């Protein structure tokens, strides 16, 4: 699951000023391609997504100009 979560950096859904989430359809397709159990991925990814989105939006709000780490 950690490997899958790290690969989701390119699947971010954003609007001007913030990140709203991951493309979970793409996440499940990637999970399937990696051989990850899809039921487990469907259960765990939304929780990981919530933390990632909160952290990215926190970094954006800080305005520090630092690189966003996914």
Question: What does the alpha-carbon distance between residue 63 and residue 67 come to, in Å, rounded to a whole number?
Answer: 11
Model confidence, pTM: 0.78
Is residue 31 in some structural domain? yes
pLDDT digits (tens, 9 = 90+) for 46-63: 999 999 999 999 998 888
Is residue 11 in some structural domain? yes
For the chain, the domain total comes to: 1
Question: What does the alpha-carbon distance between residue 9 and residue 44 come to, in Å, rounded to a whole number?
Answer: 17
pLDDT digits (tens, 9 = 90+) for 5-40: 888 988 889 998 899 999 999 999 999 999 999 999
Residue 70: predicted pLDDT: 56
Is residue 1 in some structural domain? yes
Provide the domain limits for residue 23. Answer: 1-36
Is residue 60 in some structural domain? no
Is residue 62 in some structural domain? no
Question: What does the alpha-carbon distance between residue 45 and residue 22 come to, in Å, rounded to a whole number?
Answer: 9
Is residue 55 in some structural domain? no
Do 52 and 20 form a contact (C-beta atoms < 8 A)? no
């Amino acid at each position: 699951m950690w490997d899958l979560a790290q690969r989701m950096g390119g699947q971010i859904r954003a609007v001007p000023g913030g990140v709203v989430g991951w493309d979970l359809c793409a996440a499940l397709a990637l999970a399937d391609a990696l051989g990850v159990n899809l039921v487990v991925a469907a259960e765990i990814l939304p929780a990981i997504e919530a933390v990632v989105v909160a952290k990215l939006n926190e970094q954006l709000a800080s305005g520090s100009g630092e690189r966003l780490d996914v």
